[in-house]
Chains A and B, each alone.
Chain A
């Protein structure tokens, strides 16, 4: 008779075996895990402890075996780690990798804005080349006007969205060449992954003038490259694609401290702001390389006041950087999804009396309907409707129809329904346009 119940002594031995072998196999991963923790007491203890374990066990070479296995998994098409795939591709020059349709797709459900740290968990391979990939502390002084971004009163419920321009203006794009679709990359964290990317992709599906490249990842940000290094991951996500336009929505996870050169930079300090601004500038320089036009989507006002303040500060830093780039445009949708004073609102009633939820129930992300309002405007810019037969001329094929001045939302304009591949008329959100139903987007 085989015994199936055991004592706590047996349990102790099993756990001891588990812990010992786990340390042996996962010492690299544990050190990476500790490195990704938010600055605080736990990190203070975990980093030296895990690094000591890693150093002690390094001579055994388990890490090298593990890396080899991961690379081989990438070679057979198992891995979805874009940076690893790119590394393997570089190593295997002459060998073509299996196509990875998962590249850059992301879990909308995984969009834990507060969870950049908690989402870096089992299953997360080593990413990033460590702190400093996007610039060192003090490498660049803050541009004038960027100071005092954290100076407003804590706890205030008033969104400071007014401190950055509320513009929706976009300089017209050159007309799309026949037979060569405009390549549009969608980049960012869950602010892109949840709502906005899906509505944009649904609208663009079947549009021969647009080719969408997915380059977004929930639970990421620019503040902590040791958690997710956009400088490595973005090129890997693009692969061979050369975007003409990059739409960026990022920063919702960045209201947290980080460590630079073994020094903790608390969120909101001048040193923190300087490093974050440098990282943001490096990211912008990367995405606008090769002449890509960048639309930087400002983060919308948030429901929780403390979080809204952080987002306001992030927006101000982002605007400071974006406004200095000739290729980038600051695009603030607050007039589309915020209230008249630029504050958070959950529901909205359109001019035609149609009520809609513009934000998801978490008070952070856009709802599909809210994102649809942004998409309607962006799609007009990316792929303007053909000019009416009575108004020939190249200008009509650009976004000249859009207001060039600011602060005025472009919603409510008439737009010709586009056609899907099957010739079905669609309106924003991908819904079929019913007979006699007015277009509101």
Chain B
């Protein structure tokens, strides 16, 4: 089984929830946004409090659940935005 290393970023409330702002995780190929979030859940028990499908971004663009993720990509988990 080959794996890819993906950079994770957890923002705002999610960083507090998981106790970390970012990390690298190895995810089994083929890697999608969904599989990356599964890997986050497998690593962090507190991730059970994340929504079923948290808002995600890949390389700073909003991503869909089935979007492919490549080696070195930055996947971010974003709480509902609240600027302004």
Note whether A and B form a binding pair.
Answer: no
Q: Which B residues contact A (CB, under 8 angstroms)?
A: none
Q: Which A residues contact B (CB, under 8 angstroms)?
A: none
